[in-house]
Structure 1
Amino acid sequence: MDLELRHLKIVRAVADAGSLTRAATALGLAQPALSAQLKRIERALGGALFVRGREGVRATALGELVLDRARVLLPAVCELQEEAVRFARQGAEGYRLGGTHGPLLGALVDRLARREPGVPVTTHTSWSEREIAAGVADGRLDFALVGVCGESAPPGPGRLAWSEVARDPVCVMLAEDHPLVGRREVELAALAAEAWTDVPGDGCFGDCFAAACVRAGFTPACVYETDTASCVHLVQVGRAVGLCRATFPVTPGVAVRPLAAAPLVWRHLLGWHPAAPAADRAAEVLEHARTAHARAQAASASRAAARDGRPEGAAPAVEPA
């Protein structure tokens, strides 16, 4: 006889009740039937699990070993079953999206909500791409919308399926009265004396940025790592220059310019678990994410052109170096 979870439940019930009579009542069995099952379990495990006496039953050394394992396994299996049911139900009823900072997550939520107004869409945000990927891997989220630097591997390699949504050159945010605003693009070396600001993350972007600066002939003297709103404020008041993507919305007091030769590239990725129910909707969600990115990029370029008083798609006049 192979040991099954129901056998462990019987052993635990006998130990908790302290007698076969009380255990049989709790399990809804006749005492002879419970005694017969317990004997089969003991034969399968190779020895007696309980010593029977006038005062009830007491676990043997082997019984204590089995009970120790049962007290770990039974709650774990119960939790697994509950999580699996919850995962399957939520995956079928709505969209659970995880993402890092940036406007693309909001744009994707808007598209899904418009397309399926009766279907709930929930979100979870974190600075950690690894945390978001882990949430998809263990069933707490359906999709991860994250980014990686250049050709870097996505978080959680081998566990999730990933598709590229889009690629953005990394741009620089300048105060609107910064001396370099008039340039069509800004050389990274021209920013050597600046303080920098950027949002945190657990990917390799910080290392890639530092390496790009070294190639440009300098090491950043100061980098303020903080939330998006604080990054924008530091740029607006001229305390620092910042890094952003092409989809960064036009913001009063801030001008966005490409970095010459695109030394840094950001890849937007959508990830999902290939065995989860949500995998059936991955192609549709990916298409929504790509459309959301394209529209956010176009809107950002249009607003920037309007603010600068130039035709849409035209670059600002070039200031002599």
Structure 2
Amino acid sequence: MDLEIRHLRAVTAIADAGSLHKAARVLGVAQPTLTAQLRRIEESLGGTLFLRLPEGCRPTFLGHQLLARARPVLAEMNQLTDQMRAAARAERNSHLRIGSTPTHAVAPWLRLLSERFPEARPTVHAEASSCALLRMVAAGQLDAALVHEPEGCPLRIPADVRLRVLLEREPQLLGVFEHHPAARQKTVRLQDLADERWMIDKTADGEWEQLDRVLRAAGVTPQILHGDFATISMLVSTGQAVMVCNGTSTGRNGAVVRRLEGDPIAARWLLAARSDACLDAVYDDLVTAYREVADQAPLYKAIGPPVFGPTP
């Protein structure tokens, strides 16, 4: 028989009470039951834990050795129980707050989390700035956030934020008007877009710097306009500008997505939280959600399913 927590509780109760009769009352069991349990424990250990004296029970040397180790274990178990009960109370009275930069995966992710944790009433905060979301996680305003890091433009990661890689490198797509000449091609050269106006949300950390660098490396002098997502979508869908889109984009409202030759623009997707436990709680549902949208995306139909990455 291996020692269990209930055995340690019984032994310490006997030592603290000084008799089997008093210990049985403390534990809420009959004295014969406790006596039989103590006998089984001693037989399992191969030694006597208590001297049975007229005035009560006194620990033997072996008993003192066991008690010296049992008490810290029980104290730690009691502390763990109290912490888990407090966490359960907090969970019942709080929301699971997630954040994300723009991605089609947010809707299925929120749905899956709501199914898994209905009592936590998950909510979502959308934000173009990855760094703003990371600051919110660090400040305890969000429990977890999905952010993207444009290739070559590292994000500023707060010291107390933990990260898990969702995708190490996801090519970004070109969004163009459905009647644009580039829409007739499967892949588009950057040089063929030399005269285009590129729309970008400057609050999206690193995207302007990445696009400017990539276009200049391709010999293109960039014409970059700044606007919010609604304005960008409107101008692209009416043929007045082009844009960079996430790899899960499918195109809509008069706009289509096309792959850029050589995949020169890319991003790394990261899940951020303040603890590994929180990352563990929401990561698998995020992977499932991302697979769901990737199954519908032209990029992943061309290059195969996404390969999810390890912890950095």
- TM-score surpassing 0.5? yes
Moved more, 169-178 or 202-211: 202-211
1:194-213 correspondence to structure 2 within 5 Å: 194-213=196-215
- Judging changes above 3 Å, is the alpha-carbon distance between structure 1 residues 140 and 157 closer, same or farther for their aligned structure 2 residues? closer
Q: Which deviations, in whole Å up to 9, do the C-alpha atoms of 1:21-74 show, x marking residues without a partner?
A: xxxxxxxxxxxxxxxxxxxxxxxxxxxxxxxxxxxxxxxxxxxxxxxxxxxxxx
Q: Which residue pairs with 1:63 in the alignment?
A: none
Q: Which residue pairs with 1:291 in the alignment?
A: 288
Q: Give the deviation of 1:226 after TM superposition.
A: 1.8
Opposite residue 290 of structure 1, the aligned amino acid is: V
Q: Give the deviation of 1:143 after TM superposition.
A: 0.5
Q: Distance in 2 between matches of 1:169 and 1:91?
A: 40
Q: Which residue pairs with 1:236 in the alignment?
A: 237
Q: Distance in 1 between matches of 2:125 and 2:145?
A: 9
- Judging changes above 3 Å, is the alpha-carbon distance between structure 1 residues 176 and 202 closer, same or farther for their aligned structure 2 residues? closer
What TM-score do you get using the length of structure 2 for normalisation? 0.63
Q: Distance in 2 between matches of 1:89 and 1:233?
A: 43
Assess if the C-alpha contact under 8 Å between 2:172 and 2:245 holds in 1: yes
Q: Which residue pairs with 1:179 in the alignment?
A: 181
Secondary structure in 2 matching 1:180: helix
Identity, % of aligned pairs? 25
Moved more, 237-246 or 106-115: 106-115
Q: Distance in 2 between matches of 1:94 and 1:272?
A: 15
Opposite residue 123 of structure 1, the aligned amino acid is: V
Q: Which residue pairs with 1:281 in the alignment?
A: 278
Aligned residues: 216
Q: Which residue pairs with 1:191 in the alignment?
A: 193
1:13-24 correspondence to structure 2 within 5 Å: none
- Judging changes above 3 Å, is the alpha-carbon distance between structure 1 residues 90 and 134 closer, same or farther for their aligned structure 2 residues? farther
Q: Give the deviation of 1:254 after TM superposition.
A: 1.1
Q: Distance in 1 between matches of 2:206 and 2:253?
A: 30
Q: Which deviations, in whole Å up to 9, do the C-alpha atoms of 1:218-240 show, x marking residues without a partner?
A: 1112x222222221211111100
- Judging changes above 3 Å, is the alpha-carbon distance between structure 1 residues 126 and 220 closer, same or farther for their aligned structure 2 residues? same
Moved more, 88-97 or 181-190: 88-97
Pairing 1:122–2:119 present:
no
- Judging changes above 3 Å, is the alpha-carbon distance between structure 1 residues 240 and 110 closer, same or farther for their aligned structure 2 residues? same
Opposite residue 134 of structure 2, the aligned amino acid is: A
1:85-164 correspondence to structure 2 within 5 Å: 89=90, 93-150=94-151, 152-164=153-165
Assess if the C-alpha contact under 8 Å between 1:91 and 1:142 holds in 2: no
Q: Distance in 2 between matches of 1:92 and 1:150?
A: 40
Q: Distance in 1 between matches of 2:289 and 2:192?
A: 33
- Judging changes above 3 Å, is the alpha-carbon distance between structure 1 residues 265 and 91 closer, same or farther for their aligned structure 2 residues? farther
Give unpaired runs (5+ residues) of structure 1.
1-84, 305-311, 316-321
Secondary structure in 2 matching 1:118: helix
Q: Distance in 2 between matches of 1:127 and 1:162?
A: 19
Q: Distance in 2 between matches of 1:107 and 1:239?
A: 32
Q: Distance in 2 between matches of 1:109 and 1:251?
A: 22
Q: Distance in 2 between matches of 1:90 and 1:135?
A: 19
- Judging changes above 3 Å, is the alpha-carbon distance between structure 1 residues 269 and 247 closer, same or farther for their aligned structure 2 residues? same
Q: Distance in 2 between matches of 1:111 and 1:151?
A: 32
Q: Which deviations, in whole Å up to 9, do the C-alpha atoms of 1:86-109 show, x marking residues without a partner?
A: 9x9369843111222232222311
Pairing 1:218–2:220 present:
yes
Q: Distance in 2 between matches of 1:212 and 1:257?
A: 17
Give unpaired runs (5+ residues) of structure 2.
1-85, 304-312
Q: Which deviations, in whole Å up to 9, do the C-alpha atoms of 1:172-229 show, x marking residues without a partner?
A: 01111111212120011110100111223252221111111011101112x2222222
Q: Distance in 1 between matches of 2:92 and 2:229?
A: 31
Secondary structure in 2 matching 1:136: helix
What TM-score do you get using the length of structure 1 for normalisation? 0.61
Q: Which residue pairs with 2:62 in the alignment?
A: none
Q: Distance in 1 between matches of 2:272 and 2:302?
A: 35
Opposite residue 286 of structure 2, the aligned amino acid is: A
- Judging changes above 3 Å, is the alpha-carbon distance between structure 1 residues 161 and 241 closer, same or farther for their aligned structure 2 residues? same
Assess if the C-alpha contact under 8 Å between 1:250 and 1:300 holds in 2: no
Secondary structure in 2 matching 1:238: coil
Q: Distance in 2 between matches of 1:280 and 1:251?
A: 37
Assess if the C-alpha contact under 8 Å between 2:92 and 2:120 holds in 1: no
Cα RMSD between the aligned structures? 2.6
